[in-house]
Every structure is written in structure tokens, then in C-alpha cells.
Amino acid sequence: MVMKCEEIRDMMPDLASGMAKVTPEIRGHLAGCSACSGKLEEFRQTMALLDEWQAPEPSPYFDVRLRARLREEIAKPAGGWMGWLRRPVLATALTVLMAIGVGMVFHDGDGIYRHDNVVADNDVSSQAEPGTAVGDLSALDKNHDLYSDFELLDDLQVQQNVSANP
Amino acid sequence: MDGSVLMASLGSPPGTLQTALAGAEPYSDAEVMLRVKAGDEGAFDYLVQKYRRPLVSFMYRMARNSAVAEDLAQEVFLRVYRSRQTYEASAKFTTWLYRIATNLAVNHARDTRKERPEVTVSLDEPDEETGTTMDVRDASMTVEESMVRRERLAAIRSKVEALPERQRLAVIMHKYQQMDYRQISEVLKLSESATKSLLFRAYESLREQLKEFV
């Protein structure tokens, strides 16, 4: 089978590094194609040069450190119900939701402040000591509805008395 | 390290995998990983012992620093350990392992791009691989020879590092990890023909840039 230059080119990294064997078909092509044989020789020289870059062996502490990290990993408690917060996507989604919520509260003016003031007023009146001016006023305010009901009952009794004794 | 030390530290009975491996049928890495999934810590140690050297070497060429390389290789093993419950033996174990390693290495390279100094040749700083300075050189080499060698090494490192990311990964996996086209294509999620073309372009670029050192 006659091989094409493109096929040799595809195999060249493997041929140059010795990972592929030179079959009779490849040898036949190389014998008749100076471009491919020249390129293959240059690739072989480049590969030999790249061989000079040696990587160091793992240090004697590699296993010790890995063992320690594994122990930490095993001892680490499960994430718990807040564990999902550690996931960046979910944490980001929560932040966005909170931002939208805050935005909605502030929408149309001073929403949260108005609410706070009402709450603050109520808090002040509920915390005022009885006997003080603020305390008495707030007690009167609270009892206003009750007094109104008593007055209404009084009026109804008066009317019934009137009908009973014409 | 004796494998039993790690096994003992992890609290599993030592020798479980070794005993099994003594049988007639050798286990594939995927099968060993399934044993890790089933809780066999000895099986995990077997994988650590088998792949720590290739992974440190892979990370060293990606990170160009042996301490960082060891940290990253350990992180790969930790991720393997964390993922043991969800591991499916659908892909080859090494493909899965190198995908984890590749992601880590690429992220590290991107995170530290601005911090990394250019590859230089210095007479004072020790060679990271040999730990020697030019003063304590190989007795068989002259100062000039030693200097030329280090310059050549710096050129190799810098030219490989200057390759586009996927070309660099492909070269490191092919040249230094002896991975074939199919494995590299699976790790990089490329077609086999695209991987062949990628590797040819990468080596062609290195050949051109390193020809003065050949």
C-alpha cells in the first residue's frame, strides 16, 4: 500500500519519539520522499533535545504530606446543611437573590426606613415606664378603643331604658 | 514509603489488594478504583504508588516548580479520593486522572501567570533538577559546557511553556508521559485527527525555535 505524505505527517510525532514502529510501507514512502524523511530526521533531533528536560523524583516527604492531607480529608466533617454555601454558584445565586430582595424593599422611596420608624415608635411606647408622661399617653392610646366600646354600650343601655319606660 | 504505612494510617487491613493482585487475573486501574469506591484504602494506596511519579513529573513541567508540582499532584489524589463514591468506570482511569490533573494545572497556570518569572539562566541560583550551582558542577563538564547545557535547558523550558495551552498539554502528555494519540484526545476532548494535527504543529514550532540548539 502506498502511503501519502499527509499520513506520514500525522504519524511523525510517534515515529520521531519511537512510539510507532517504522513499517515496510512507511519505510517505502520515506525512501522515495526526501521532504518526509528530512522532516522526520529533524523531528528526531528535536525529540532528543527535549529529552534533556528531566523532571525530579517525588521528594521523600511526598507520601508523608499526602498521608497528612488524607487524614485531614477523612477527619473533615460533612458539609452539613450550610455546606451548599461553599459552592460558588449557589453562593452567588443567594447573593443575587438577596440583592434583588434589598432592591425591592428600597424601591418606591424609603420603604425600610418608614417601617423601621413605625417599629421604633411602637418600641418606644411599649418600653415606656407607667407613670411617666410617655407611658400614660401610650396607655391612653392603647385603651382608646376599649373606652370607645364602653361608651357605645352605655348609649345602647340608655336607649333600651327609654323604650322600656315610654 | 511502604504501602502498608498509608493503609494502616487510613485504618484498613493491609494487603487486601496485594493479596488479590497475587491471583491470576491482574486488575485494571478502573477495577482498582472500583475497589477504592467500595472502601478498600489499600487499593487507593496502590494507585498513589503507581501514579505519583508520573503526576509529579507532569505537574513539574506544567508548573515548573517541584514544590508546587508535588502540591498539585497531591491535590489530584485528594480529588480522586473525594470522587470515589461517584466514580463510574465508563472512561479509562488514566483519562479521568489526567483530566483532573490537566484542569488543576491549567487553573494554576492561569492563576499564577503574572507571578511567574521568565526562564533565565543564572550562575548563582541552583539548578532545580540537580540542586547544584555552577560552582558545584559536574566534574566531567567544563564551565562553558555546563553553561551551554543550562542555557539549552532554559530554552527548552521556555519554548515549551510558550506554546499555546493545548499544544503544551499535548506535547507534555505525548513526549514526557508517553501517552498515545487516543489517550491525549480523550483527555483534551478532541478528535484523534485534531490531536495529531495539534501535536504536529506543536513539534514543528519547537523544531523551528530550538534548531539553534540541535
Contacts of residue A37, Cβ cutoff 8 Å, sequence gap at least 6: A30, A31
Position B162 scores a pLDDT of 95
How many whole angstroms separate alpha carbon B99 and alpha carbon B194?
A: 18
Q: Which chain B residues contact residue A13 at CB under 8 A?
A: 174, 196, 199-200, 203
Residues 7-36 of A with CB under 8 A from B: 9-14, 16-17, 19
**Residues A41-59: pLDDT tens digits?**
999 999 999 999 999 999 9
**Residues B165-202: pLDDT tens digits?**
999 999 999 999 999 999 999 999 999 999 999 999 99
Position B3 scores a pLDDT of 37
Query: CA dist A87 to A53, A73, B74, B104, B208, Å?
Result: 39, 17, 22, 17, 45
Q: Among A4-18, A57-71, A109-123, B168-182, which stretch is predicted with the lowest mean pLDDT?
A: A109-123
pLDDT band with cut points at 50, 70 and 90 for residue B119 = low
Q: Average of pLDDT values for A68-85?
A: 74
Verify whether the Cβ–Cβ distance A50 to B149 is below 8 Å: no
Verify whether the Cβ–Cβ distance B66 to A13 is below 8 Å: no
For the segment(s) B1-116, the CATH number from 3.40.640.10, 1.50.10.20, 2.102.10.10, 1.10.1740.10 is 1.10.1740.10
Q: Is the pLDDT of residue B26 over 90?
A: no
Mean pLDDT value across chain B: 84
Contact assessment for residue B114 and residue A11, using Cβ atoms and an 8 Å cutoff: no
C-beta neighbour count of A24 within 10 angstroms: 8
How many whole angstroms separate alpha carbon B140 and alpha carbon B123?
A: 18
Verify whether the Cβ–Cβ distance B149 to A16 is below 8 Å: no
Contact assessment for residue B47 and residue B29, using Cβ atoms and an 8 Å cutoff: yes
**Residues B83-92: pLDDT tens digits?**
999 998 888 8
- For residue B69, the surrounding DSSP H or E stretch is helix B66-82
Chain A: closest CA distance from residue B85 (Å): 14
Contact assessment for residue B172 and residue B62, using Cβ atoms and an 8 Å cutoff: yes
**Residues B49-79: pLDDT tens digits?**
999 999 999 999 999 899 999 999 999 999 9
Closest CA to B207 of A53, A13, A54: A13
Give the nearest partner residue to A53 out of B73, B74, B157, using CB atoms.
Answer: B157
Q: Is the pLDDT of residue B5 over 50?
A: no
This prediction's pTM:
0.69
Closest CA to B76 of B49, B56, B50, B46: B56
